[in-house]
Amino acid sequence: MSYTASVAEESDWKYPEPDEMVGWGWLPVGSGHEIYWHEYGNPLGEPVMFLHGGPGGATSPKQARFFNPRRYRIILFDQRGCGKSRPTVASPDPQTASAALVDNTTDHLIADIEALRAHLGVKGPMHVFGGSWGSTLSLAYAIRHPDSVKTLILRGIFLCRRKDLDYFYQGNARVWDPQTGDTSVPGTYLFFPEAWKTFVEVIEPAKRGDMVKAYAEIFEDSKHPRLQEAATAWSVFEGSTSYLAPEKDLSSYAEPEFALAFARIENHYFMNGAFLGGTDRDNNYLLENAGVIAKAKIPVYIVQGQFDQVCPRFQADDLYAALKDKTKVTYVVTTAGHSQFDRETAKALTEIMDKLSGPVAKG
């Protein structure tokens, strides 16, 4: 089976990948955590805080390509426990890996954003740009600190409710059988059967009634004999389903250290309702508190892939419905999957950042 690639090629990008950082470092934020940050663009420009996905993903210079480097001060950081931040959940030392999950909650990530703002001298409101889990964290941050947000630019909306997680991780796992092919339950598995088979078969049939919990039982044991296998299956499943046309090279998702951090941190958050107003997996925190964003009159831009099966469109529709009559919301649906690097989504995000009101900074 072959597909035409959907990922943006070099000619699709308006701005080059930066080859030099304006600044970088590790910022101590408490409980032994140091978050890695790096900065690009114009030091005197409009600050934009980039919040990566996962949770448990990471940042790279390529993510600075959405922004005009003359106009924006582009700030990226790796969230607790992942990427280049220290300690890492991917550590081969079980004690270090466990320490990376200590005080690793949404409240702590929000506090880290505030600490980084202060460290970098960002005084006024800033643009907050996040996709997938980054959209979750962006919304949670704006609810907590609305005065610090000038604009929300969100991609691949993830509200982190139980039904959102069930669509992606649970599907028909409870009754899954490769022979009968029960398709009575909605889910991502309908579109990616090969990837789903690998993901499901890591878990023994008796435990497939709650896939997130079943994986948690493996991830919580740093010495579990199938830890790496489970982490890779979890990570590659997301990679396999992220693009409009499946990527042939999923090696970055299968890379052992990345897979361990990505899978274990995601599962840690999902088992606890993403720590949104508590640890209830049945929470609806973001929509219940969306009024804070509306009251602050924060402009919101939503870019959603029509064919996103990681964070399917019904989540973006729900967020739009909660905000559309109360604040300025621009909703763009692209011919794309989940990835920020799918061609049409990458172009839409760049266009939004170019058209935001405000002068091009000099320098």
Q: Which of 6, 91, 132, 138 is catalytic?
A: 132
Number of domains in the chain: 2
Q: Could you tell me if residue 362 is inside a domain?
A: no
How would you label 305-323 residue by residue, b for 16+ Cβ within 10 Å and e otherwise? bebbbbbbbebbebbbebb
CB 79 within 8 A of CB 246: no
DSSP 226: T
User: Is residue 4 packed enough to be buried (19+ CB in 10 Å), middle (13-18) or exposed (0-12)?
Assistant: exposed
Which backbone phi and psi does 39 adopt, to 5 degrees? -135, 145
Cα 187 to Cα 102, 259, 288, 307, distances in angstroms: 32, 23, 25, 13
What are the residue ranges in the chain where pLDDT is below 50? Answer: 1-2, 360-363
Beta-ladder partners of 303? 155, 332
DSSP 359: P
Owning domain of residue 173: 162-274
Q: Could you tell me if residue 363 is inside a domain?
A: no
Domain boundary among 250, 274, 298: 274
| Predicted local confidence at residue 5, as pLDDT | 65
SS3 call for 321: helix
Tell whether 199 and 243 lie within a shared domain.
yes
Domain boundary among 249, 274, 299: 274
Tell whether 145 and 25 lie within a shared domain.
yes
Tell whether 285 and 155 lie within a shared domain.
yes
| Predicted local confidence at residue 362, as pLDDT | 44
Tell me the pLDDT tens digit for each residue of 90-138: 999 999 999 999 999 999 999 999 999 999 999 999 999 999 999 999 9
Q: Which of 33, 338, 339, 342 is catalytic?
A: 338
Domain boundary among 274, 299, 314: 274
Tell whether 88 and 197 lie within a shared domain.
no
Question: Is 308 a residue of the active site?
Answer: yes
Tell whether 125 and 183 lie within a shared domain.
no
Tell whether 138 and 46 lie within a shared domain.
yes
CA-only gyration radius of the chain, Å: 20
Beta-ladder partners of 27? 35
Q: Could you tell me if residue 360 is inside a domain?
A: no
Tell whether 182 and 310 lie within a shared domain.
no
Q: Which of 308, 318, 339, 342 is catalytic?
A: 308
Question: Is 132 a residue of the active site?
Answer: yes
Tell me the pLDDT tens digit for each residue of 180-201: 778 999 999 999 999 999 999 9
CB 81 within 8 A of CB 252: no
Tell whether 72 and 206 lie within a shared domain.
no
CB 142 within 8 A of CB 149: yes
DSSP 169: I
Report the candidate in 154, 150, 153, 146 with the shortest Cα–Cα distance to residue 358: 150
Q: Could you tell me if residue 41 is inside a domain?
A: yes
Q: Could you tell me if residue 2 is inside a domain?
A: no
Cα(85)–Cα(55) distance, rounded to whole angstroms? 13
CB 99 within 8 A of CB 26: no
Tell whether 152 and 281 lie within a shared domain.
yes
Tell whether 146 and 200 lie within a shared domain.
no
CA 362 to chain CA mean position, Å: 32
Tell whether 331 and 346 lie within a shared domain.
yes
